[in-house]
């Protein structure tokens, strides 16, 4: 665990590395990992010496030139910095390819040895498993039996299991080869600047933390609607659904940051312990407070069963049953083919008791005027909504806001994407933003009532906000912050 870098202002520099990308020919490597590694390189955050080896089963094998071209195409399409000139040439020279199958790992082993020699010294090994969950077990076992696991670190993609039993079995099989300190279970939401900034907002200011509790906060919403449909991922999505794809992974992790107690230090051990305590305090999901929706037309998507019961949208009420949060509902919503792509946390505050202003109109939902809204879609913003007097002779109130926008306020060029930040942290050995086995298992445990007994899916029109009536009832007497409606003067 490295802790020092979080308090220093010079750029952190990882040790020399040999990085192996399993699933190098797949979608995640193309969209996020290869562009992310290139961006880290351009930003001067890669080690002084490193090698990147792409890997995949033999049937998808590539030559070195093909892999470099593949990486070039990926960076061209998905990286903000284009692959040009000497910088690209030097980065491309670090790329090679070695295929690996559970019983045929020699090509990879040879490449790793060659790369280690080329890098020199005693480079660290880092494996990124960007592969389907069904392949985790065999690749981990192969890393163990080939000796490649020795002294290495491993990044494992979500979803980590599909229920409590499978998550436990997966943890058990990984622990046979890697100790917990070598395992980096990645959730790219926790690498987002604005999610990390929740810790700064809460714990670096005297302004917010004193009111960050049940005495002042009436409700919390974590809302991540997407306009994207399943984009040809039927094979994965129809087995997974919105709850496993988004809630049990990303949204609960974000909830962990919103709800945690102040850690005694900003170290991996303390942060993860505080997040796990929040998960321990989560009540088992109550199916009476869950809405499962399915967008109209989903069952006609290629690869989806004609009678599929998979939810493409889910909204639910969660409860953190501890001293800080007892009685405060946490509303979580996410889904595909909804009305907008947003990533928003909303904290709604109690109204003051003295209602001397005539602002209580029927069309302004009660309690909606004092909110803190954290928009964590990159580059992110924080808005505080409050009531202010409109200029004029009358005491006439209207909604006003104070807005902080990352894009306008700091050097946005220094920003790292979620994956970039987390790959860098894994190279530095900093597990602060990665999830541990206990936390993951607890989230599956509280999910069991829903997984065992899911309410039926309700259809919703594409571009809407889910099955309107049920989603509205779930949150009543409050209202979803999204979509925002403009405020009107009170008189
Ligand atoms: C992924 C999910 O983990 O996160 C996708 O599998 C989802 O279904 C995506 O679209 C959202 O992440 P991002 O990077 O767009 O914030």
Nearest ligand 1 atom to the CA of 418 is: 14
pLDDT at 280: 98
* Ligand 1 mean position, distance from CA 165 (Å): 24
- DSSP for 101-131, please give it: BTTB-HHHHHHHHHHHHHH-S--EEEEEE-S
Average the pLDDT over each of 91-95, 161-165, 326-330, 396-400 and give the range with the smallest value. 396-400
Encode pLDDT of 108-140 as tens digits. Answer: 999 999 999 999 999 999 999 999 888 899 999
Q: What residues does ligand 1 touch, defined as CB less than 6 Å away?
A: 188, 226, 228, 245
What does the pLDDT look like over 7-47, one tens digit per residue? 445 677 899 999 999 999 999 999 999 999 999 999 999 99
Q: Please identify every residue annotated as catalytic.
A: 250
Residue nearest to atom 4 of ligand 1 (CA): 246
Closest residue by Cα to atom 9, ligand 1, is 246
Q: 171 in helix, strand or coil?
A: helix
Q: Determine the distance separating the centroid of ligand 1 and the alpha carbon of 232, expressed in angstroms.
A: 14
Residue nearest to atom 5 of ligand 1 (CA): 245
Number of H helices, E strands in the chain: 15, 15
Q: Tell me how far apart the alpha carbons of residues 240 and 238 are, in angstroms, rounded to a whole number.
A: 5
**Per-residue model confidence as pLDDT tens digits over 192-216:** 988 889 999 999 999 999 999 999 9
Q: Which of 193 and 382 is assigned the larger pLDDT?
A: 382
With beta carbons less than 8 A apart as the criterion, state whether 123 and 15 touch: yes
Mean pLDDT throughout 445-457?
Answer: 98
Q: Between 413 and 136, whose confidence is greater?
A: 136
Ligand 1 atom closest to Cα of residue 343: 16
Cβ neighbors of 153 (< 8 A, separation 6 or more) are 124, 125, 126, 127, 182, 183, 184, 426, 429
User: Which atom, in ligand 1's list, is nearest to the CA of 228?
Assistant: 10
> Interior CA angle at 236 toward 21 and 435, to 5°?
55
Prediction pTM value = 0.92
């Amino acid at each position: 665990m490295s802790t020092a870098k979080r308090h220093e202002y010079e750029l952190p520099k990882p040790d020399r590395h040999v990085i192996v990308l399993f699933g190098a020919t797949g979608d995640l490597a193309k969209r996020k990992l290869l562009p992310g590694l290139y961006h880290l390189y351009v930003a001067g955050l890669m080690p002084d010496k490193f090698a990147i080896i792409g890997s995949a089963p033999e049937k998808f094998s590539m030559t070195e030139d093909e892999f470099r071209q593949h990486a070039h195409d990926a960076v061209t399409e998905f990286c903000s910095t284009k692959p040009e000139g000497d910088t690209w040439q030097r980065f491309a020279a670090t790329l090679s390819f070695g295929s690996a199958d559970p019983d045929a790992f020699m090509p990879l082993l040879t490449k790793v040895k060659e790369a280690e020699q080329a890098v020199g010294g005693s480079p660290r090994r880092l494996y990124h498993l960007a592969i389907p969950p069904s392949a985790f077990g065999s690749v981990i076992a192969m890393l163990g039996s080939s000796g490649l696991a020795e002294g290495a670190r491993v990044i494992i993609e979500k979803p980590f299991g599909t229920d409590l039993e499978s998550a436990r079995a997966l943890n058990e099989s990984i622990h046979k080869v890697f100790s917990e300190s070598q395992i980096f279970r990645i959730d790219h939401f926790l690498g987002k600047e604005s999610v990390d900034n929740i810790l700064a907002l809460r714990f670096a200011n005297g302004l917010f933390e004193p009111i960050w509790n049940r005495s002042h906060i009436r409700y919390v919403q974590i809302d991540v609607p997407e306009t994207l449909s399943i984009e040809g991922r039927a094979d994965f999505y129809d087995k997974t659904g919105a709850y496993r794809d988004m809630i049990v992974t990303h949204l609960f992790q974000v909830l962990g940051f919103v709800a945690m107690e102040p850690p005694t230090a900003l170290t991996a051990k303390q942060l993860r312990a505080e997040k796990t305590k929040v998960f321990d305090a989560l009540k088992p999901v109550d199916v009476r407070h869950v809405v499962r929706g399915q967008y109209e037309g989903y069952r006609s998507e290629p690869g989806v069963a004609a009678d599929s019961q998979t939810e493409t949208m889910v909204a639910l009420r969660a409860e953190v049953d501890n001293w800080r949060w007892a009685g405060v509902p946490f509303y979580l919503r996410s889904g595909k083919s909804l009305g907008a792509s947003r990533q928003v946390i909303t904290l709604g505050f109690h109204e003051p008791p003295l209602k001397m202003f005539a602002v209580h109109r029927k069309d302004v939902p009660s309690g909606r005027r004092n909110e803190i809204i954290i928009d964590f879609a990159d580059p992110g913003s924080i808005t505080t909504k409050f009531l202010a007097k409109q200029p004029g002779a009358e005491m006439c109130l209207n909604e006003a806001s104070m807005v902080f926008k990352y894009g306008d306020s700091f050097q946005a060029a220094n920003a790292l994407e979620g994956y970039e930040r987390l790959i860098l942290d894994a190279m530095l050995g900093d597990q602060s933003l990665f999830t541990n086995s206990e936390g993951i298992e607890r989230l599956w445990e509280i999910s069991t009532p829903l997984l065992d007994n899911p309410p039926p899916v309700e259809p919703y029109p594409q571009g809407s906000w889910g099955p309107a009536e049920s989603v509205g009832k779930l949150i009543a007497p409050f209202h979803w912050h999204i979509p925002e409606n403009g405020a009107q003067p009170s008189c």
